[in-house]
Amino acid sequence: MLDPREANWSARNWAARRIFMDIRGLSVRRSGPNASFLLLSGMIFFLALHCSAGPVQPRTTFSVEKDVVYQQSASYSLLADVYLPATPEASRPAILVLHGGSWQRGSKERMEDVAEQLAGQGFVVFNANYRLAPDHPYPAQIQDVRKAIEYMRKNASDWSMDPDRIGVLGYSAGGHLALLLGLLPGSENTRVQAVVTAGAPTDLTAYGDIVTMHRLLQAEYRTNPEIYRQASPLFHASSSAPPMLLIHGTYDWIVPVSHARKLTRAMVEKGGNIDLVELSDGHMGTTLGVNEESLKATVDFFQLRLASR
């Protein structure tokens, strides 16, 4: 648990953004450059993250193992890039990174910048591809990201990685998968200890019958709403989920900020551990490798939640 006195938000960082939460009628806003906030709702605390002024500076160099095959079948191979920091620690925290692309396109190359930034902070990074719709409809994607976590744990000793300190970070569709990885029941070998998302859809029922959903779920909402609910993080909110950080743009018209707010509210009501950072930006503006504020919040969150125990 982070002591609110540890928060050190700068006026510059907050010039163009705010944190806003509306839980059961209680609004909490950032009100000054030296303030921190603490919201108590039942057993849940919403805590300000520490964000330093200025860019995130790398702490170490790293090497990259490109195109590692982490899952293979007769019809496909799934690849990932492994980033290994040049730090002396024998057991380092790790992060699975998941790209966006409406579940239908995109690849790990889209997340190279953020993977490099995280590796430069001393995290082992596994930047992975996953199967795409419509050729591979849901739940193929969540099956793949679970396999990625299993592969990471299998190779923990080779990578000087702590198998008990694994986080997942995803943007857009990748954020949706990251949330499901944290929220859906799974084996001990697929559990993660922290989740960060940017621009993540949380309620697929809100989209109704659009082509993207049909391709992903191979079903129409009007005839099979249950699969839309099953694939929506919102309906799996739980107190047993790992700590989560949602980053969302208030001007996101592709995935409206209501997705993040609804999941935040649901997690609070269930007794979960979740933080919401809202940026005055759009969908692409929250891309973690591009937006400095997103990156700083992400690094600080993972450093806190994946710290040595």
Cα–Cα dist 83/151, whole Å: 14
Confidence check: pLDDT of 22 > 70: no
| pLDDT bracket for residue 196 (50, 70, 90) | very high
The helix (H) or strand (E) run that includes residue 118 is helix 112-119
Q: Identify the pLDDT of residue 88.
A: 80
Fold held by 41-305: Rossmann fold (3.40.50)
pLDDT tens per residue across span 272-302: 999 999 998 888 765 655 578 888 999 999 9
179 backbone dihedrals φ, ψ, rounded to 5°: -65, -45
Residue 212 CB-density burial (10 A; 0-12 exposed, 13-18 middle, 19+ buried):
middle
Give me the mean pLDDT over the 210-234 stretch: 98
Stretch 83-109: mean pLDDT: 95
- Sequence spans of domains, the chain: 41-305
* pTM (2 d.p.): 0.84
Helix (H, G, I), strand (E, B) or coil at 274: strand
